[in-house]
Amino acid sequence: MTSLKVKLARKFVSFVLPDVRKLVPPGTQVIEPSPSSFDGRTVPEVVAIHGRPGIHILKMLVIIPYLIKTAYYARKSIKSVRKNPKNPKRVADEEFFRELEAYAKELGVSAIGYTEVPVEYIFKNRALLFKNAIVLLMDMRKERIEKALGLVAGMEVWRTYAELSKVVYKLSEFLRERGYAAQPDPPIGGSTNFPLLAQKAGLGYIGKHSLLISERNGPSQRIAAIYTSIENLPHTDDRVDLYSWIPEFCEVCNRCVSACPANAIYLKPKILEDGRKQYVDYKKCAVVFSKTLGCGICIKECTFFKGEFFRIKKAYEKISSRKTQQSFK
């Protein structure tokens, strides 16, 4: 029997993150997930169901403004699909993309990528209106994440969720004002697997901690997306080759595995029924995440957070080259 806690959590999530299929006119064609897609789990849902807050009420009061802002803009963003033009434009010129990227940077976006969404990335209980995605990263400030497991780090996690939720809404309005349709997807309730989507868009690569590692800020960022009617997005998929060595590095490093206070990161992946690999037990992760209002230890201890990306890459390539040479002797 489903517990009252689970029912309340899911009711709250369905209010904050309504189903886009219920917001568009009957008969609107949507892109459904693949039979092999994962079940979707939003941040609020996972924390509410599997977390154990147990925190001082005064600490919670500090976070509440960010929680409210996050929920407000998440709901406002998703419901804004009702404002999409009936016959949206489908082609954009270079000037439009320059203006879009300049505005995104002005709003605090640290990186932007473009890609097409594979149906396997869409969560089972979600749907998309468009297959083309604008993927957004927003940095979390390093000096604050360095305070993990403290309240300052937790505040930074939720500040970033709140700000990026607002940015997704504003950028979607930017698109609509110019005749394009948009389906904003806020950072707390992705309709798709955000780390995989950002990786495909050439913005980084997923580490063993299941977070995206970017060249700019390591794993210290949050991700959101906007699905759009624009069919000629300047896809950035080819940049993924810059990061393809990261999984090999992670197998040698394992700093996040030993540092995780919840023991939620597997040294060796769990092989799922469909053959896919799972490195993180999100239920264990939720316990510490909820108690600390954001945790952040796996980010703080990641080698890519502590060091400079290209120096790490260069050092790793040297070591790999030596090993290769030795194997031929």
- Does the residue 65 lie in any domain? yes
Determine contact, residues 45/13, Cβ cutoff 8 Å: yes
Per-residue pLDDT tens over the stretch 208-263: 999 999 999 999 999 999 999 999 999 999 999 999 999 999 999 999 999 999 99
Does residue 202 sit within a domain? yes
pLDDT of residue 1: 42
Of 300, 226, 289, residue with least CA distance to 44: 289
Query: Whole domain around residue 110: which residue ranges?
Result: 22-321
Residue 5 forms part of a structural domain: no
Q: If you write DSSP's letter for every residue of 62-86 in order, what string do you get?
A: HHHHHHHHHHHHHHHHHHGGGGS-S
CA dihedral over 36, 48, 65, 158, signed as positive or negative: negative
Phi-psi domain of 177 (left: phi exceeds 0; alpha: psi -120 through 50; beta: other): alpha
**How far is the C-alpha of 281 from the C-alpha of 210, rounded, in Å?**
10
Residue 248 lies inside a defined structural domain of this protein: yes
Mean pLDDT of all residues in 259-269: 94
Sequence-ordered strand ranges (E) for 83-163: 111-116, 132-139
**Peptide linkage before 149 cis (omega within 30 of 0):** yes
**Structurally, how many domains does the chain consist of?**
1
Backbone angles phi, psi at 57, to 5 degrees: -60, -35
Q: How confident is the model at residue 52 (pLDDT cuts 50, 70, 90)?
A: low
| Percentage of the chain modeled with pLDDT above 90 | 73
Q: What is the DSSP letter of 117?
A: P
Q: Is residue 292 part of a domain?
A: yes
The position carrying tokens 């799922």 is 272
Tracing tokens 């404002």 back to the chain, one arrives at 83
For residue 9, tell me if it sits in a domain.
Answer: no
Give the closest residue to 144 by CA, choosing from 261, 258, 49, 66: 66
User: Tokens for 250?
Assistant: 């992670």
Q: What is the mean pLDDT of the chain?
A: 91
Nearest to 320 by CA among 243, 252, 218: 252
Answer whether residue 326 is part of any domain.
Answer: no
Identify the CA nearest to 177 among candidates 96, 242, 102, 235: 96
Overall pTM > 0.75: yes
**Helices and strands of the chain, counted as H and E runs:** 13, 8
Residue 288, in any domain of the structure: yes
